[in-house]
A = this chain, B = another copy of it.
Amino acid sequence: MAEPLRIAIAGLGTVGTGVIRLLDANREVLERRAGRAIEVVAVNARERAKDRGVDLSPFAWVDDMQAMAARSDVDVVVELVGGSDGPALTLARAALDAGKGFVTANKAMVAHHGMELAELAAINSAPFAFEAAVAGGIPVVKGLREGTAANALTRIYGILNGTCNYILSEMERTGADFDDMLRAAQEQGFAEADPTFDIEGVDAAHKLAILAAIGFGTRIDFEAVRCAGITQVTASDIAQADALGYVVRLVGIASMEGDGRLLQRVRPCLVPFRHPLAAVTGPTNAVVAEGDFSGRLLFQGAGAGDRPTASAVVADLIDIARGQAGAPFSVPVDQLGSAEPGDPGERRGRDYIRFTVADRPGVLAEITAAMRDAGVSIESLIQRGRDHDGGAVQVAMVTHEGPEHCVTEALALLEGSANLAARPLVMPILKD
């Protein structure tokens, strides 16, 4: 049996302690699969004294996590601290610079600095892996890096944020409004005290940018992700969608356009009942990859949580122990291409558009005239009665397929209209 793989863990939150628990619980099977033991040698966290329910006494306590990168008894540093910059990034650079493996669950850091870190890893021939950064316990980074490697992918999309999916599917189940379900999600531990990154779609955008780089062989371009969250989605939108045969899900979509440009977006979408993503409820994640030979592949599972995330962290460690870590983005980082951001205006599709309007004559005439003038063809239109919150009325429509810039133009024509009580909400209809 080969020498053990010796790891240091920075960060002992739920995931860090989950990794320690997993390594202990499955010690024997891990050793058989990895061909060698995986041993924690050093740990670090902000508070040493805190009771975490795991025995830390066998491990060296490191007061300054940056010191981990310099330890000669450490092969791999596992970073579970979080934050796109700051100490996590400093540690990543130091570990890779020292030729150590680096494993992280930090999607924000990989989305922002993944290219730099992959370059450092390549220079130092050091493994760099982040399965846990995307979709929790689902082996989708590996799925795209290796499983679909024979394919030119056309589209990668999915439900990448468990908090949003929990809120939306609970709104659907209960008829409750967004604010109430957010509070419920916080109470049940499915949403953080500051949920901004989740509900505004930023977390999903981090993951999407990482998956797009792997799947399309292009450099990560997080800045190019167009991002909208779910805060504007109302109980009434969900009811309208249901009546039309759809559920509402926050979907990240990356597509390689015909012109070689890469369109990356995170938006609430209408998903047809029969689509596999419609059946994804609660804090579950699901990723679809469409390959030119494989066809549509779906990877689904727990999107977060200490145990699933620990499963992904340790899968990376097993790959490293086996000497099978490979290029973090499937192709060597210096061979990743650069794709210009796609033009969403050129996207052809159908949209759901919801207006909140004053309840007075002429409103529908103004809206439909703007649609006509911008060349938007309306497939169906529902005007429901007065809303409970006063004089506003909801008008929802679904457009025929057409280029998105027409919808944008129509909304521009309506901008500032005294008839609109709120900003319209546009949700694309996911194509089958």
Seen from chain A, the residues whose Cβ lies within 8 Å of a Cβ on chain B are 18, 22, 25-26, 29-30, 32-35, 137-139, 142-143, 146-152, 217, 274, 276, 279, 286, 291-302, 305, 307-308, 310-315, 317-319, 322, 324, 326, 330-332, 335
Contacts and interface: CB of A to CB of B under 8 A. Distances in A.
A293 B18 contact: yes
A298 B297 contact: no
Most chain B beta-carbon contacts within 10 A, residue among A22, A146, A147, A291: A147
19 contacts: A25-B293, A26-B151, A32-B331, A32-B335, A33-B217, A34-B149, A142-B146, A142-B147, A146-B324, A148-B315, A149-B318, A150-B317, A150-B318, A286-B298, A294-B308, A294-B312, A295-B302, A295-B305, A299-B300
What is the predominant secondary structure among interface residues of chain A facing chain B?
mixed
A143 B152 CA distance: 20
B310 A150 contact: yes
Contacts of A324: 146, 324, 326
A295 B276 CA distance: 19
B319 A295 contact: no
A291 B138 CA distance: 11
Contact of A300 (B30, B33, B276): B276
A198 to B, nearest CB: 20
A413 B361 CA distance: 76
Contacts of A137: 291, 293-295, 297
B311 A148 contact: yes
A311 B330 contact: no
Most chain B beta carbons < 10 A, residue from A26, A294, A330, A331? A294
Contact of A22 (B150, B297, B317, B322): B150
Given A29-B152, A143-B143, 20 more contacts: A22-B293, A25-B152, A30-B149, A33-B330, A33-B331, A34-B149, A137-B294, A142-B146, A143-B147, A149-B318, A150-B313, A150-B315, A276-B279, A279-B279, A293-B307, A293-B308, A293-B311, A295-B307, A298-B301, A322-B326
Contacts of A150: 22, 26, 30, 310-315, 317-318
Given A25-B292, A295-B308, A315 B146 contact: yes
A33 B295 CA distance: 19
Contacts of A26: 150-152, 292-293
Contacts of A30: 149-150
A311 B331 contact: no
A143 B151 contact: no
Contacts of A331: 32-33
A174 to B, nearest CB: 16
Nearest 10 interchain pairs by C-beta: A139-B147, A150-B314, A137-B294, A298-B300, A294-B311, A293-B311, A297-B301, A324-B324, A32-B331, A293-B307
A323 to B, nearest CB: 8
Nearest to A298: B300
